[in-house]
Homo-oligomer: A and B are copies of this chain.
Amino acid sequence: MRVLVPFDASDPNTRLAPVLDDRAAFAEAMLADVLAAIRNGDHEPVVLATESVDVDARVRVDDRPLSPAVNAALAEATLPVAVVMSDLPLVGADTIRRLVETAGEVVLAPGLGGGTNALVVRDSGFRVDYHGGSYRTHRQRARECDLTHATVDSFRLALDVDTPDDLGEVLLHGEGQAAAWLREAGFELDESDGRATALRRSDS
């Protein structure tokens, strides 16, 4: 299946600014993990980027905001098509297979906090709206369009890296470039207060 991976190439992961010097490099490491997972799951990634990026995958450039850019790609795509966010570094080939093999005209993977981290669209009438609590919006839209819909129950798909708190999960569960990048940048897993946290060696 073709899997679109939206990627904000201009200003990624703004909420990580307080802890990461080079957010762009980390964002690219996460993107590389997602692309590898899709490919290892025997599917075909297409990066949907806000500007040209140098990655090992087909790139479609669209500088509009996320929802219109995804909807334009959906309108032109041969269905079924999947959309998987680029900030999901825990996703592996098995996760992608579970997503793609879940039956339903619309398949949704909720993110922590009510977003939609991944979806599969098998009906040409469905359009996305990532604004606000998009998981609820998308479920509602599927109902309004009278489409069968299902939810994928996955921690690896739910964990989008958004805030510094999420980096501990990457160090604990990640096996790809994003986890390696954090380690090289000096972060290590700290569980001394009972909660997985990414601590920079120089901070400790």
Which A residues lie at the B interface, using CB under 8 A? 94-95, 98, 110, 112-114, 131-133, 135-136, 153-159, 168-169, 172-173, 189, 191-192, 194-196
Minimum CB–CB distance from A75 to chain B (whole Å) comes to 25
Number of copies: 2
B residues in contact with A112, CB < 8 Å: 112, 155, 159, 169
Contact of A195 among B95, B114, B189, B196 (CB under 8 A): B114
Contact A153 B114 (CB under 8 A): no
B residues in contact with A131, CB < 8 Å: 194
Contact A172 B132 (CB under 8 A): no
Contact B155 A114 (CB under 8 A): no
Contact B168 A114 (CB under 8 A): yes
Contact A132 B191 (CB under 8 A): yes
Contact B156 A196 (CB under 8 A): no
Contact A172 B133 (CB under 8 A): yes
- Complex Cα distance, B194 from A79, in Å, reads 29
**Residue among A156, A169, A189, A196 facing the most chain B CB atoms (10 A cut-off):** A196
- Complex Cα distance, B94 from A172, in Å, reads 26
B residues in contact with A191, CB < 8 Å: 114, 132-133, 136
Contact B192 A110 (CB under 8 A): no
B residues in contact with A136, CB < 8 Å: 172, 189, 191
B residues in contact with A94, CB < 8 Å: 153
Contact of A154 among B114, B155, B173, B195 (CB under 8 A): B155
Contact B155 A194 (CB under 8 A): no
Contact of A173 among B110, B156, B172, B189 (CB under 8 A): B110
B residues in contact with A135, CB < 8 Å: 172
B residues in contact with A156, CB < 8 Å: 153
Instruction: Kindly report which residue of chain B lies nearest to residue A195, judged by CB atoms.
Output: B113
Minimum CB–CB distance from A189 to chain B (whole Å) comes to 8
Minimum CB–CB distance from A151 to chain B (whole Å) comes to 8
Minimum CB–CB distance from A97 to chain B (whole Å) comes to 11
